[in-house]
């Protein structure tokens, strides 16, 4: 393991990847197949080599966009604001939906919910410090953006002390150990819909299924990198509204692409690191509803679509502010 204070070169970053893990090879192969499929699709269509009708192209692109934003909503609202930060509660009569939501979240293939939540809380505690698991300041862009996900030093397991609320949820822990089921189910459903709609333009059901599966890989790749932008871009570019002691920033463009997560500096201000929390002890006062928002001003809240959706669900009585 390289020293934490050294920014890794791309070669050094790849050397810290766990190449013995099947998850690592799946991680890279999904992106290679997905991006390769998209490039082939554009190339063949531009040069009129593809049998696809324009309507079929529109359909597969709409499916990809829909899958990206639906997946992003489950990442931002549920993985992030609910499972990690407990920013709101589900109505007591509707707690039975939590395992269903956890299962849907597992389909985004971003590691288990418990691992994701623990890593995220750890990041807040040690943001941009040597202990941070994904810091551009400490290890450079390539590491903090995506390679940290398949790092080789992950034998310590989940830091359950950071997420005792999830440790009590037996159903969520069951899904944590079987997240591959959600990934497979998500891919099959997406590909089955594509096959039934004949988005590949082929006469064979299986050919359309495989074509749609490649589209699913591409949409998964988009969702991954959309999420990873918060780790990387939002600690490199944008404006710092608050002095949070780290590199977190706000960006309208990233907020638009991630349903509000781009107001990242605001988020780090309201969920400070250990050092900042000690410095501001007793001075941080937040309203109950402020916990689930990342946007603060009216303009920011207009593009914090995750916060808007939570607000609407609280008005309907489905969710509750803390």
User: Is 128 domain-assigned?
Assistant: yes
Q: Examine the pLDDT at 127 and tell me if it is beyond 50.
A: yes
The dihedral built from the CA positions of residue 286, 289, 295 and 301, taken in this order, carries a sign that is negative
User: Is 158 domain-assigned?
Assistant: yes
> d(Cα 107, Cα 102) in Å, to the nearest integer?
9
Residue at token pair 């509803």: 289
> d(Cα 127, Cα 291) in Å, to the nearest integer?
19
Output the pLDDT for position 1: 34
Percent of the chain with pLDDT over 70: 90
> d(Cα 91, Cα 320) in Å, to the nearest integer?
6
User: For the chain, what is the radius of gyration of the CA atoms?
Assistant: 20
Q: Examine the pLDDT at 4 and tell me if it is beyond 60.
A: no
Output the pLDDT for position 35: 96
Mean per-residue pLDDT, 122-139: 86
User: Is 147 domain-assigned?
Assistant: yes
Output the pLDDT for position 3: 39
| CB 320 within 8 Å of CB 91 | yes
CA dihedral angle for residue 16, residue 123, residue 260, residue 234, rounded to 10 degrees: -60
Residue at token pair 């930060």: 85
User: Is 66 domain-assigned?
Assistant: yes
Query: Given its phi and psi angles, is residue 284 left (phi above 0), alpha (psi -120 to 50 degrees) or beta?
Result: beta
| CB 131 within 8 Å of CB 122 | yes
- Bridge partners, residue 250, by sequence: 239, 263
Question: What pLDDT band is residue 215 in, cutting at 50, 70 and 90?
Answer: very high
pLDDT top residue among 47 and 279: 279
Neighbours of 85 (CB within 10 A): 18
Mean per-residue pLDDT, 130-155: 80
Neighbours of 12 (CB within 10 A): 15
User: Is 116 domain-assigned?
Assistant: yes
- Comparing 22-31, 84-93, 148-157, the range with the smallest average pLDDT is 148-157
Mean per-residue pLDDT, 28-51: 84
User: Is 287 domain-assigned?
Assistant: no
| CB 97 within 8 Å of CB 164 | no
CA dihedral angle for residue 80, residue 83, residue 84, residue 89, rounded to 10 degrees: 90
User: Is 277 domain-assigned?
Assistant: no
- Bridge partners, residue 263, by sequence: 250
User: Is 49 domain-assigned?
Assistant: yes
DSSP three-state, residue 321: strand
Mean per-residue pLDDT, 62-70: 96
Q: Domains in the chain: how many in total? A: 1
Q: How far is CA 223 from the centre of its chain?
A: 7
Give whole-number Cα distances, 243 to 144, 239, 264, 265, 273, in Å: 21, 11, 12, 9, 12
Domain holding 219, by residue range, is: 14-87+95-241
Output the pLDDT for position 57: 86
Q: Examine the pLDDT at 267 and tell me if it is beyond 80.
A: yes
- Tokens describing residue 84: 């990690």
> d(Cα 1, Cα 208) in Å, to the nearest integer?
45
Q: How far is CA 271 from the centre of its chain?
A: 18
Output the pLDDT for position 22: 85
Residue at token pair 């941080």: 284
């Amino acid at each position: 393991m390289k020293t934490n204070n050294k920014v890794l070169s791309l070669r050094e970053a790849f050397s810290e990847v766990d190449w013995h893990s099947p998850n690592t090879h799946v991680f890279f192969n999904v992106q290679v197949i997905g991006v390769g499929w998209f490039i082939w699709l554009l190339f063949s269509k531009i040069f009129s080599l593809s049998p696809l009708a324009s309507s079929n192209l529109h359909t597969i692109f709409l499916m990809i966009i829909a899958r990206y934003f639906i997946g992003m909503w489950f990442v931002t609202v549920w993985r992030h604001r609910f499972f990690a930060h407990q920013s709101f509660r589900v109505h007591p009569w509707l707690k039975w939906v939590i395992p269903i939501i956890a299962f849907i979240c597992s389909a985004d293939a971003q590691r288990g919910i418990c691992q994701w939540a623990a890593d995220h809380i750890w990041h807040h505690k040690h943001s941009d410090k040597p202990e941070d698991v994904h810091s551009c300041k400490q290890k450079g862009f390539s590491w903090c953006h995506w390679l940290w996900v398949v790092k080789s030093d992950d034998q310590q397991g989940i830091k359950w002390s950071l997420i005792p609320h999830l440790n009590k949820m037996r159903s969520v822990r069951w899904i944590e150990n079987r997240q591959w089921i959600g990934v497979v189910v998500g891919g099959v459903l997406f590909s089955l819909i594509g096959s039934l709609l004949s988005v590949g333009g082929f006469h064979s059901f299986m050919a359309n299924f495989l074509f749609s599966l490649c589209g699913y890989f591409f949409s998964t790749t988009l969702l991954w990198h959309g999420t990873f932008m918060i780790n990387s871009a939002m600690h490199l570019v944008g404006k710092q509204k608050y002095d949070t002691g780290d590199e977190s920033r706000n960006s309208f463009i990233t907020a638009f692409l991630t349903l509000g997560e781009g107001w990242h500096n605001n988020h780090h201000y309201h969920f400070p690191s250990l050092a900042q929390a000690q410095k501001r002890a007793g001075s941080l006062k937040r309203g109950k509803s402020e916990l689930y928002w990342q946007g603060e001003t009216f303009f920011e809240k207009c593009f914090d679509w995750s916060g808007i959706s939570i607000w609407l669900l609280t008005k309907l009585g489905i969710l509750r502010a803390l």
